[in-house]
Amino acid sequence: MTGRLFIIAGCSGVGKGTLLKLFLEKNPDIKLSISATTRKPREGEVNGKNYFFISKEEFIADVNNNEFLEWAEFSGNYYGTKKSFVEKTLNKGIDLILEIEVKGAKQVKEKMPDAIGIFIMPPSVETLETRLRGRHTEDEETIKKRLLEAKREIKAGQHFDYKVINDDLDEALNNLQKIFDTERNNLC
Ligand code: ADP
Ligand code: 5GP
């Protein structure tokens, strides 16, 4: 049996990375896809672990070689998921998570309608801004761009199969776990 594909999306700063780290510690049999990006690494980020950090030229060559299952421009950088990795992982029967933004999520759903889309919602736009600023990883211009993207993303999030509000972290983690448990036990 092939693995199941889960898509996790949500605005920058909503807590996707935080939730996924905890979730994957509890669910070591589920894999997280590592994307390619033209964004510069943040302090502490490791090539091949957090992302494959590549140049714009390399990214465009990969697009032209049809290597991406999906890709998108987000806040001035390119991000993409390698098709070969997704296919190999699912063919081994391993469940896989793509942590991607909403334009990429739409492309995946079109190509793989069985993929399960989960959108992480902030409790409020104000809280989102506080979290994004509190992370201290982006400059002011990038924060503004990401907050603008957030409004568009929250609208697109309405079309996802599931929504999880990340207010209290433990509660959000429990809700995420319930969704995965339900979908992974659903054999049809
Ligand atoms: P994303 O991966 O969605 O961009 P992060 O996981 O980096 O977001 O989280 C952004 C910031 O918000 C981090 O500083 C993180 O510690 C904090 N955060 C995440 N979830 C919560 C939560 N439920 N309550 C309070 N702060 C949170
Ligand atoms: P960040 O720069 O904060 O790591 O990521 C910015 C946004 O890009 C986030 O919404 C993240 O989910 C998304 N993202 C990360 N990897 C991919 C990818 O491979 N494809 C797409 N479409 N979005 C991605």
pLDDT of residue 75: 93
Q: With b meaning 16 or more CB within 10 Å and e meaning fewer, what string describes 157-185?
A: beebebebebeeeeebbebbeebbeeebe
Mean pLDDT value of segment 4-13 = 98
Strands 52-53 and 116-121: unpaired
- What are the phi and psi torsion angles at 172 (to 5°)? -65, -40
Query: Residue 10's CB: how many other CB atoms inside 10 A?
Result: 26
Distance in Å, CA 15 to ligand 1 centroid: 3
Topology given in CATH for the domain delimited by 5-185: Rossmann fold (3.40.50)
Give the predicted TM-score (pTM) of the model. Answer: 0.97
Atom 14, ligand 2: residue with shortest CA distance: 100
What mean pLDDT do residues 14-32 have? 98
95 close to ligand 2 (CB < 6 Angstrom): no
Map out the domains of the chain as residue ranges: 5-185
The pLDDT tens digits of the residues spanning 119-172 come to 999 999 999 999 999 999 999 999 999 999 999 999 999 999 999 999 999 999
Helix (H, G, I), strand (E, B) or coil at 56: helix
Residue 97: exposed, middle, or buried by beta-carbon count in 10 A (0-12, 13-18, 19+)? buried
Question: Does residue 13 line the site of ligand 1, with CB under 6 A?
Answer: yes
SS3 167: coil
**Residue 77: CB within 6 Å of ligand 1?**
no
* Distance (Å) from CA 79 to ligand 2 centroid: 6
